[in-house]
Amino acid sequence: MALISQRNAKMFARLGGNGSSPTQLGTSPGSDTWEIPVLAGFSFGQTTNSTEVTVNEAGFTSRRARVMFNDSLAPVEFSFSTYIRPTSGTNPSTAIAPEQVLWAMLMGADSYNGAAGAFYSSTMATSGASPQGVSPSTSPFALNAVNTITSSTVNTFDFSASNVSYFPASNSVIFQIQEGANYEVFTVANAQISSVTIDFDIEGIATAQWSGMGTSIARSTSQITGAITTGTTSTSNFIRNKLSTMTLASYNDPGSPSGATDSYSIVITGGSFTVENNINFLMPEELGKVNQTIGNITGTRSISGTVTCYYDTDISGSKSAELWSDLITGSSGGATGSIPTIRNAHAMTINIGGSTGNRLSLILPTAHLEIPTINPDELFTLEANFHALPASGNFDGTNEATIAYGV
């Protein structure tokens, strides 16, 4: 193999934590590996952080050279896009997807129980004692997981295991390129999914843009074998964005979702949804050596997005003009006033692909909505920013949003 083409590439994600699947898959012991079809345009790479030393002398004759020193190896950065492809699983019987492992990694998981279809985070567990959070102290059994199989057709992921200071260091992302019988395999160690963005392009297919970092990258020529490939060859599990719907209800008390006092019937024309972990990698600064990162730390979890819709003045139908008016006057949820409330909370659900069949539901119980911007065009439109927040403004909460696959 001399020159290689991106068109012959495959991507894999490997969980290498507790290795809790009854049957270990992948090329290394104690790991589970998923094949994830990716779109063209993926990238990965690692650079060095360098320091330049220069001199600046006076006089007719002066030295004008410079020298460079390698300070450290920067973390590996990678990015890629995938389609969202809900698939009916058989063991267990529920909604699964090739990219589900990426959601699990985004939420801090590093272990998988294949019989239960559950992902876990070993970071939250305390060895030899009761778990501090929702993860197993011994593999493969756990109290809770980052995903919950709520029915034979719905599989829900949440952030209950992500309030940790660092994410597990044993996962990896693998890019494999094949030319004939030859393989080039690049493995990103300690891979962390930093962020994901979903765009609701009304004329497109539902896709997710993923980005992340790792500590190092290694090359080999050994083919990845034994990976989980469920749903990768199906042609019936894509999601059409034009079928997407949104439900919205507002509340007087942000801490009491059961007290919904107003609802809106809004048809969206587009939007986006972003989860950002704000992960950084710690780097030593010792002199006389090329430093390497010692691991990751998590920052503020930020979940936000935008929705767009037409400016609809059908007040009796609780359309978008009523929502704009309620937000700008402070009467959202039935309250009275002339300015916006200090904190507003809205129960927002966006069903990408519709409310039935193949879909991805973004459920935000207490979303904070900004006052929409009016965009005059041939038809007036509104663009509203939203932020997923924990209920009652509780900083300890992890209930900002849940992501549910449905079939």
Per-residue pLDDT band for 336 (boundaries 50, 70, 90) equals: low
Scan for tokens 């997005």, then name that residue. 305
HSE (side-chain half, CA atoms, 13 Å) at 161:
31
Q: Distance between CA atoms of 105 and 121, rounded to whole angstroms?
A: 9
Per DSSP, helices labelled H in 107-163 are: none
The DSSP result for 226-290, as a single string, is: S-B-TTSS-SS---BGGG-EEEEEEESSTT-GGGEEEEE---EEEEEEEEE---EEE----TTS-
**Does the pLDDT at position 71 exceed 50?**
yes
pLDDT of residue 332: 61
As a dihedral over the C-alpha atoms of residue 305, residue 309, residue 313, residue 318, rounded to 10 degrees, the angle is -60
Task: Spell out the residues 6+ positions from residue 288 whose beta carbon is closer than 8 angstroms to its own.
Answer: none
Give residue-wise pLDDT tens across range 342-394: 777 899 999 999 999 999 999 999 999 999 999 998 899 999 999 999 988 88
Q: Are 361 and 404 in contact (CB under 8 A)?
A: yes
Q: How confident is the model at residue 254 (pLDDT cuts 50, 70, 90)?
A: very low
Q: What's the predicted TM-score (pTM) here?
A: 0.88
Reply yes or no on whether the pLDDT at 309 is more than 70.
yes
Please calculate the CA angle 196-147-263 and round it to the nearest 5 degrees.
Answer: 75
Burial (0-12, 13-18, 19+ Cβ within 10 Å), 47: exposed
Quickly state the pLDDT bin for 139 (edges 50, 70, 90): very low
Tell me, what's the pLDDT at 13? 95
Domain map of the chain by residue range? 8-46+70-406
| pLDDT, position 130 | 37
Task: Kindly state the average pLDDT of the residues 66-95.
Answer: 94
Mean per-residue pLDDT over the chain, rounded:
86
Tell me the mean pLDDT in the region 159-187. Answer: 92
Supply the DSSP string of 113-150, one letter for each residue: ETTTTEEE-GGG--TTS--SSSS-SSSS--S--SEEE-
| Residue 122 in this model has a pLDDT that exceeds 80 | no
Torsion of CA 353, 354, 357, 361, to 10 degrees: 80
Please choose, from the candidates 109, 163, 102, 139, the residue with its C-alpha nearest in 3D space to the C-alpha of residue 397. Answer: 163
Distance of alpha carbon 192 from alpha carbon 107, whole angstroms? 10
Virtual CA dihedral for 305, 308, 309, 315, nearest 10 degrees? Answer: 50
DSSP character for 171?
Answer: -
What span, in angstroms and rounded, lies between the C-alpha atoms of 399 and 366? 9
**Do 352 and 200 contact (CB within 8 A), yes or no?**
yes
CA distance 99 to 352: 16
Tokens of 229: 């490939």
Greatest alpha-carbon pair distance for the chain in Å reads: 84
What mean pLDDT comes out for the span 44-54? 95
Give the residue with greater pLDDT, 260 vs 250: 250
The DSSP element (H or E) to which 367 belongs, if any, is strand 359-369
Which of 112-116, 143-147, 332-336 tops mean pLDDT? 112-116
Mind listing the pLDDT tens digit for each residue in 126-135? Answer: 443 333 343 3
**Are the C-beta atoms of 130 and 123 separated by less than 8 Å?**
no
Task: Using the predicted structure, report yes or no on whether residue 23 has a pLDDT greater than 60.
Answer: no
The two structure tokens encoding residue 203: 């004329």
pLDDT at 213: 97
* pLDDT value of position 41: 92
